[in-house]
Amino acid sequence: MTAAITANLPVFVVIAPLFVAFVLPTFARRMRLVEGLVIFVEALGLVGAGYLASIVLAQKGIPIIYRLGGWPAPWGIELEVGSLGAFFLLVIAGVSLPVALFARGNLTKEVGSKERVTRFYVLYLLLNGALAGMAVTNDLFNVFVLVEVATLSCCGLVSARNHPRAAEAAFTYLILATLGSTLVLGGIGFLYITTGHLNMGFSSQELGRIWQDNPHVVWVAISFMLVGFGVKSALFPLHLWLPDAHSTAPSPASAILSGLAIKGYLICLLKILYNVFGHTLIQAFAVHRILVLAGMVAIIAGSILALTQDELKRRLAFSTVAQVGYIYLGLGLVNTKGLTGMLFYLASHAVSKSALFLAAGAMIAATGKQSISELAGIGRKMPITMAVFTVGSLSLVGIPLFSGFIGKWYLILGNLEAGNIIPVAVIIIGSVLCAAYLFPIIRTAYFEPVADEDWQDPGLPQKISLILLAVAIVILGVLPGPFLELASRAAAEFLVLQ
Amino acid sequence: MLNLILALSSGVVGGLIVAMMPQANHRLRNLVVLVFSASGMVFSWRVAQMVFAGESVKIAGEFGGLAWSLAPDPLGAVFGLIASTLWLFAAVYSFGYMAQKHKQRTYYTFLLISLSVTLGVAFSGNLVALYLFYELLTFATYPLVIHERSSEAVKAGSKYILYSLSGAGAILIAIVITYRWAGNLDFAGGPILVGCLKPGLSWLLLLFVGGFGVKAAIMPLHRWLPAAMIAPTPVSALLHAVAVVYSGVYGILRVVYSVFGHELMGQLSFASILPWIAAFTILVGVAIATQQDVLKRRLAYHTISQLSYILLGAFTLQPWGLTGAILHMISYSTLKVTLFFCAGIIAEQTGETKVSRMGGVGWSLPKTMAAFGIASLGMIGMLPLNTFWSKYYLMKGSVAGGRWPLALVLIGSGIINALCFIPTVVTAFSGERVRSDTEQGGRVALMLAPTMFLAAISLFIGLWPGIVWSGVQAVVDWFF
């Protein structure tokens, strides 16, 4: 029995949300049931991810491989839950469960009628399934399919609010993201033409043999991938769609888009770069230098752009642009410490940013105010919400005891190992700028005179969800043990290949 | 170990109790503040006793895969003693000073929390713990800096945060580099980087000194300190003359003697420039101080100058220099807090903040100005005050290190100090008694008592320096 569960779990975590997404519209009239089902399937995902992670940890790095339809590679499609897969599955489940909890009974205000809310949940679960698929897939064409599923559901989530600005943002996103998908597809096509394989492992082996004969093809494939995923994960200056999309979406959607969706594309890029091209090619083509440079530019530019925003959610959205820079910077560090830091930072940002967006959403919902300067004294009126916001901010700035610090610590170690000096300085400057755009919010909230209005903390499920995220941030910052272990194993595995 | 935990936690526990108490009950709140400040002091004394007796006091743990430890050595014990003792004085002074001010609950909450965090800095046993508390100190003291809530205060607060965080960033990089090179961050087993001769060592030292130098207000990293004078006077006295700035000084002492060690420092070319940077700050700081008309700003620039006395002693890398540095850490703190306390009383009772308008103040506030006069003499370094001894050993250390011009710098600075303070005292006692202000009443008594008591302590240490000698000697023996 347990053997059967273990063997089928990798596909189950992907199929379960997709399946529920398809049956959900039939219950559209019964809101409680819909919400209950969504939360149930997310909880199931968390249990599954935790179980898979414990197995992967116990197996000391031997991945669990699932062959779809029983066909062995290279003919069939493989799902592989290794350290990286288990790690990302945990991140997905750990963030999407609290977000679903936050959405409970709270969406009709932002989204509208029951039908629209059900549609929102369908898209939410589709996105979840796609992300879980990205975590476990070992097949290039599957990557493309999952990227498309994720992109279209994101697009739907952005437009979920019944508002002209939302429609405009969704349209911009659709155009740019489709451009990105096309580039990704092109890149995959080039790889398939040269190697004849879609399975990442086989493709990588073949590429290792022939890349010296066709360096131009590799160049084109890599640049297509970089630009394609760059658009999707909002790498500066390809981020133009992000601020509108993430600030106009309903708060749970903003949280999941900024927290997880972007991370899914980054995980795909990571897999393609390190599992298909491999670290030898990355270094041979100096891709790592491009990544580090792009990351540094994004950190500085994103932070400065965030500083100029007065609208709360837009400031958080630009902050995502800056934080994605850290992850790109980490992608370019071809050593265990740096990649560990990158993965940990990715997880830390997923949790922290969704906490920030949810807290911001709760504040906006309670007050009806969008801009930071109007939120004076809100810390007194909504203590829990603001406390979670503070925890999230401290984590993003990288204060010890919060998750962001561990990520930054390893990123700095990785940079030193790679002999980079300037990126280290940029990481620190980014932290200071991050403090400069987040702390004024906290100061306004706590230290300015309280407005005489009836602002209150959100309802119980929302409070639980916020507290869960805050606790996750602190646990990741204080006791990251198994989590850090998974990340560092995944990083080590990337460097073993070739 | 229990003493250590109690010393560290009394501030936080007291702060949380104050935060949950009703706003209106001033008496009960003051009692709570008094009890918990006193318990912080008592347990710090116990910890210090144990440390000087050679017992090992240690708590250690891990967060995020990084080991932290709290294990005070004599240097930490001395810093903890200074901070916790002066905290009690500042708390009593606050009862008088803050009596009619707004937002007292926030004020006392963060005052107590800062006590815990400062003691955390003092008792840290490795660089991770030091960094953690150093960073937390910025946030714990921020609400005190912006206490006025005016736009000027908010600006000063932002400046403070940005300066401190930038400094902490430099320290973080330096710590990571140290960790990579040495694989160990503990202070206990001798200097961390001993035998680790790498070409980038001078840069590492620059990062460390630059990072801690922000809070130690080394020029040109000092700009936040005069701005932070917008805070209430007890905060300026305690935090911006002692606790916060000393955490920077303490960090640099740690870097010099626990991270690099005096032997390794002696081989670095950059290390030989450091005493001159300190000398520059000493002279320029006090020179700017003489030009300030607002008394608190004058005291702020004077703080900048005096902190570099301690650094200069540490940078000489001589046992006598370190003796002078530790003695100055003790002596300067009592005197400077006295000066700030006096400035606060003057401002509260007469409304005057500018030196040029203080004519005749001495006749209305004789006790205050007497204390001010005593402290002024101390700043010049005259016998029978405690700073005489510290200056003596600082000079001895400079000469022993073969840098006799530094001794001249110290003498010159003493003369400028005289120009800085003596005219103030003279002005205060010149002219007729035209004012009706007095130092009568319970509120002033609460402010005056700690002020005079501290002035008396300074005199006492000056006359019998033997009472602090064993502590100072323990620190020097520990490092040499």
Q: In this predicted structure, what is the pLDDT of residue A498?
A: 54
Assigned domain for B385 exists? yes
Position B429 pLDDT exceeds 90: no
Assigned domain for B284 exists? yes
Assigned domain for B306 exists? yes
Q: How many CA atoms lie within 13 A of B124 on its CB side?
A: 26
Assigned domain for B448 exists? yes
Band of the pLDDT at B436, cuts 50, 70, 90?
low
In chain B, which residue's Cα lies nearest the Cα of A405? B64
Q: In this predicted structure, what is the pLDDT of residue B408?
A: 86
Kindly report the nearest CA distance between residue A481 and chain B, in angstroms: 7
Q: Residue B274: which H helix or E strand, with range?
A: helix B269-291
Dist. CA B457–CA B448, nearest whole Å: 14
Assigned domain for A21 exists? no
A413–B176 CB contact, under 8 Å:
yes
A448–B146 CB contact, under 8 Å:
no
Q: In this predicted structure, what is the pLDDT of residue B461?
A: 87
Instruction: Give Cα separations from B72 to B53, B80, B140 (angstroms).
Output: 12, 9, 22
In chain A, which residue's Cα lies nearest the Cα of B62? A478
A429–B169 CB contact, under 8 Å:
yes
ipTM of the complex: 0.83
Of B64, B136, B170, the CB nearest to A480: B64
CB of A230 closer than 8 Å to CB of A238 = yes
Dist. CA B283–CA A364, nearest whole Å: 53
Kindly report the nearest CA distance between residue B334 and chain A, in angstroms: 32
Chain B residues within 8 Å of chain A (Cβ atoms): 63-66, 128, 131-132, 135-136, 139, 143, 146, 149, 154, 157-158, 161-162, 165-166, 169-170, 172-173, 176-177, 179-180
Assigned domain for A498 exists? yes
Band of the pLDDT at B130, cuts 50, 70, 90?
very high
A70 DSSP assignment: G
CB of B327 closer than 8 Å to CB of B389 = yes
B230 DSSP assignment: G
Q: In this predicted structure, what is the pLDDT of residue B151?
A: 84
Single pTM value for the model: 0.89
The per-residue pLDDT for range B197-207, each reduced to its tens digit, is: 778 888 899 99
Residues of A in contact with B136 (CB under 8 A): 399
Q: In this predicted structure, what is the pLDDT of residue A110?
A: 77
CB-count burial class (<10 Å; 0-12, 13-18, 19+) for A410: buried
Kindly report the nearest CA distance between residue B169 and chain A, in angstroms: 5
Q: In this predicted structure, what is the pLDDT of residue B433?
A: 62
Q: Which residues contact B150 (CB under 8 A, 6 or more apart)?
A: B230
B173–A412 CB contact, under 8 Å:
yes
Of B139, B146, B166, the CB nearest to A447: B146
Q: Residue B35: which H helix or E strand, with range?
A: helix B26-52
Structural domains in chain A (count): 1
CB of A117 closer than 8 Å to CB of A31 = yes
Position B187 pLDDT exceeds 70: yes
- Mean pLDDT for all residues in chain B: 87
**Cα(first)–Cα(last) distance of chain A, in Å?**
37
Of B128, B135, B166, the CB nearest to A432: B166
B162–A432 CB contact, under 8 Å:
yes
- Higher local confidence (pLDDT), B359 or B325: B325
Assigned domain for B405 exists? yes
Residues of A in contact with B180 (CB under 8 A): 413, 416-417
Q: In this predicted structure, what is the pLDDT of residue B194?
A: 82
Of B154, B165, B173, the CB nearest to A432: B165
CB of A160 closer than 8 Å to CB of A111 = yes
Q: What is the dihedral of CA A384, A388, A390, A396, to 10 degrees?
A: 180
Residues of A in contact with B163 (CB under 8 A): none
The per-residue pLDDT for range B59-89, each reduced to its tens digit, is: 888 876 788 888 888 999 999 999 999 999 9
Band of the pLDDT at B432, cuts 50, 70, 90?
low
Partners of B61 in the β-ladder: B68
Q: In this predicted structure, what is the pLDDT of residue B184?
A: 83
In 10 A of CB A381, how many CB atoms? 21
Task: Answer whether the bond into residue A237 is a cis peptide, omega within 30°.
Answer: yes
A405–B128 CB contact, under 8 Å:
no
Residues of chain A where predicted confidence (pLDDT) is lower than 50: none
B64–A443 CB contact, under 8 Å:
no
Q: Could you tell me whether strands A64-67 and B66-70 are parallel, antiparallel, or unpaired per DSSP bridges?
A: unpaired
A435–B169 CB contact, under 8 Å:
no
What are phi and psi for residue A335, nearest 5 degrees?
A: -155, 160
Structural domains in chain B (count): 1
Assigned domain for A109 exists? no
Q: Which residues contact B4 (CB under 8 A, 6 or more apart)?
A: B43, B47, B57, B58, B59, B70, B72, B123
A447–B166 CB contact, under 8 Å:
no
Q: Residue B63: which H helix or E strand, with range?
A: strand B59-63
Q: Which of A175-189, A234-248, B137-151, B181-195 has the highest mean pLDDT?
A: A175-189
Q: Which residues of B158-192 are buried (b: 16+ CB within 10 A; e: fewer)?
A: bbbbbbbbbbbbbbbbbbbbbbebbeebbbeeebb
Q: Which residue has the tokens 């949300």?
A: A17
* Domain assignment of residue B324, given as a range: 271-480
Dist. CA B262–CA B250, nearest whole Å: 15
Instruction: Give Cα separations from A239 to A134, A156, A176, A231, B192 (angstroms).
Output: 21, 19, 10, 6, 45
Residues of A in contact with B149 (CB under 8 A): 447-449
Q: What is the mean pLDDT of residues B446-468?
A: 87
Residues of B in contact with A479 (CB under 8 A): 63-64
Residues of B in contact with A482 (CB under 8 A): none
* Domain assignment of residue A422, given as a range: 286-498
Dist. CA A40–CA A43, nearest whole Å: 5
B154–A443 CB contact, under 8 Å:
yes
Interface test with A, best of B105, B141, B172, B230 (most A CBs within 10 A): B172
CB of A279 closer than 8 Å to CB of A495 = yes
Assigned domain for A201 exists? no
Q: For residue A63, give the 3-state DSSP assignment.
A: coil
Kindly report the nearest CA distance between residue A410 and chain B, in angstroms: 9
What's the token pair of residue B120?
């955390």
B64–A406 CB contact, under 8 Å:
yes
Residues of A in contact with B135 (CB under 8 A): 399-400
Interface test with B, best of A405, A433, A444 (most B CBs within 10 A): A405
Chain A residues within 8 Å of chain B (Cβ atoms): 397, 399-401, 405-406, 408-409, 412-413, 416-417, 424-425, 428-429, 431-432, 435-436, 439-440, 443, 446-449, 477-481, 484
The DSSP secondary structure of B75-142, one letter per residue, reads HHHHHHHHHHHHHHHHHHHHHHHTTT-S-HHHHHHHHHHHHHHHHHHHHB-BHHHHHHHHHHHHHHHH
B63–A424 CB contact, under 8 Å:
no
Kindly report the nearest CA distance between residue B176 and chain A, in angstroms: 6
Assigned domain for B236 exists? no
Residues of B in contact with A390 (CB under 8 A): none
Based on its alpha-carbon atoms, the radius of gyration of chain A, rounded to whole angstroms, reads 21
Q: In this predicted structure, what is the pLDDT of residue B208?
A: 92
- Tell me the count of A-B CB pairs closer than 8 A: 71
Interface test with B, best of A409, A433, A438, A476 (most B CBs within 10 A): A409
CB of B137 closer than 8 Å to CB of B115 = no
Assigned domain for A461 exists? yes
Please report, as a single letter, which amino acid is at residue A334: V
A424–B146 CB contact, under 8 Å:
no
CB of B176 closer than 8 Å to CB of B244 = no
Kindly report the nearest CA distance between residue A326 and chain B, in angstroms: 16
Q: Residue A5: which H helix or E strand, with range?
A: helix A2-23
